[in-house]
Amino acid sequence: MKRRDFLAGVGGAAALTACSSSTEPGAGSTRSDERFQWRIVTTWAPNFPGLGTAVNRLVQYLERMSGGRLRVRVYAAGELVPAFEVFDAVSRGTVEMGHGAAYYWRGQAEAAQFFASIPFGLSAHEMNGWLYYGGGLELWRELYAPFNLVPFPAGNTGVQTGGWFNRRIDSVADLRGLKMRIPGIGGEVLRLAGGTPVNLPGSEVFTALQNGTIDAAEWVGPYNDVAAGLHQAARYYYYPGWQEPGPTLECIVNRNAWESLPDDLKAIVEVACQAVNTDMTAEFMARNAQALKRLEEDESVEVLPFPPEVLAELKRLSLQVIEGLVARDPMSAKVWESYRAFMAQSESWQRVSEYAYLATRES
Ligand code: CA
């Protein structure tokens, strides 16, 4: 045993092979030679900028860090399973891994929405604080355990924009009758405000907005919105993205697949997800700023803030929707308690740190 530990410690593949052939199966270090060929299904179009490309980066990290022992082939939405079947496919073990956003799985578990983004909720920075150091990830694992899934934070776009509108929003009354592509809790909020939420996959947003099937659409932010051509389909670009202040993306791993990994590969999966999680925030910070500059120079686009009374009403209605959710779903109540406590504490700290600093820098 001692000798084997020593050899594993030096890490030579040849030494390990020689060693494992002479030891009994199931001994810790013998499994390190095992090679895994996995598949990851995603909710994104192939190589979708920022979101899909992050999955390519994740599998590159896994392959390089594992010295090729963990190879994962990427399947974009629809290539193996449709976007909205990613959760079930990984849960059943059809594939080992998936990448998407937890709010897509509200049909399976309503509380999942808290682990992506909720209106007027945590920012990207705060989501990381809550998930890694505030008990959030433990709750997420608890929520997904009955589905045979292990979730990892694996990306965050940062605060999104409020969306593209074909008419101005000057008051709460302008939301009435508004047909808007806006999924999840944000959509329920719009409905309470008198509008009609529509859920469309990203690929259909441009056409629907351009031909007037919808009056407005939220998608991601300047980087993705410009790439999708949304600035050519609507004039008014509103901010901030009250509906998605810092959506976390997820990598989900089938529990049986996860448990088949030796400890070093488990650590590699964990660290690679964490790397992609922070890397995406950095990428969106840089590319959104570049794309916004382009929009500000575009005379066919007006970048506008939502009026304060509109935001105040949307915030009031958001709380109403969340209260309804926690009243009917005990797990949502449990998660919300943790989320809300973290947000209240973070609020006090943000007031004397980020808010105060950014206000000072801007003045
Ligand atoms: Ca969005």
- On the question of pLDDT at 46 being above 60, the answer is yes
In terms of residues, how long is the chain? 363
353 phi and psi, to 5 degrees?
Answer: -120, -90
pLDDT score at 16: 41
- C-alpha 48 – ligand 1 centre gap (Å): 14
Instruction: Quote the ligand 1 centre to 247 CA distance (angstroms).
Output: 8
| Average pLDDT of the segment spanning 61-89 | 96
- Residue 130, pLDDT above cutoff 50: yes
Split at pLDDT 50, 70, 90, the class of 11 is very low
- Judge whether residue 68 has pLDDT over 90: yes
Distance 251 CA to ligand 1 centre (A): 18
Distance from Cα 16 to the centre of ligand 1, integer Å: 48
Q: Compute, in angstroms, the gap from residue 295 CA to the centroid of ligand 1.
A: 18
Q: How far is CA 175 from the centre of its chain?
A: 27
The whole-chain average pLDDT of the chain stands at 92
Q: How far is the CA of 230 from the centre of ligand 1 (A)?
A: 13
Q: Which tens digits make up the pLDDT trace of 136-151?
A: 999 999 999 999 999 9
Q: What does pTM read for this prediction?
A: 0.89
Tokens of 238: 């509103």
**Percent with pLDDT over 70 in the chain:** 91
In whole angstroms, give the CA distance from residue 201 to residue 42: 13
Beta strands in 53-208 (DSSP E): 70-75, 97-100, 149-156, 163-165, 179-181, 196-198
DSSP single-letter state for residue 113? G
Q: What is the pLDDT of residue 31?
A: 55
- Local confidence band at 32 (pLDDT 50, 70, 90 cut-offs): confident
| Ligand 1: centre distance to CA 149 (Å) | 24
pLDDT of 158-197, one tens digit each?
999 999 999 999 999 999 999 999 988 999 999 999 999 9
Distance 159 CA to ligand 1 centre (A): 9
Separation of CA 71 and ligand 1 centre (Å): 31
Residue 49: asked if its preceding bond is cis (omega within 30°), the reply is no
Residue 199 pLDDT: 83
| Domains of the chain (ranges, CATH numbers) | 2-17+33-155+246-286 (3.40.190.170), 160-243+301-328 (3.40.190.10)
User: For the ranges 14-23, 127-136, 312-321, which has the lowest average pLDDT?
Assistant: 14-23
CA distances from 86 to 83, 91, 197, 220 (A): 6, 8, 23, 20
147's tokens: 């589905």
pLDDT at 201: 74
**CA of residue 245 to ligand 1 center, whole Å:** 9
CA of 152 to the centre of ligand 1 (A): 20
Residues of the chain with pLDDT > 90, as a percent, come to 87
**Ligand 1: centre distance to CA 73 (Å):** 27
CA of 160 to the centre of ligand 1 (A): 6
Mean pLDDT of 324-343: 98
218 Cα: distance to centroid of ligand 1 (angstroms): 6
pLDDT confidence of residue 184: 87
In the chain, which ranges are E strands?
36-42, 70-75, 97-100, 149-156, 163-165, 179-181, 196-198, 216-217, 236-239, 248-254, 302-305
For residue 17, pLDDT over 90 is answered with no
Distance from Cα 10 to the centre of ligand 1, integer Å: 47
- Type of residue numbered 262: P
Q: What pLDDT, in 10s, does the model give residues 265-278?
A: 999 999 999 999 99
Q: Is the pLDDT of residue 3 over 80?
A: no
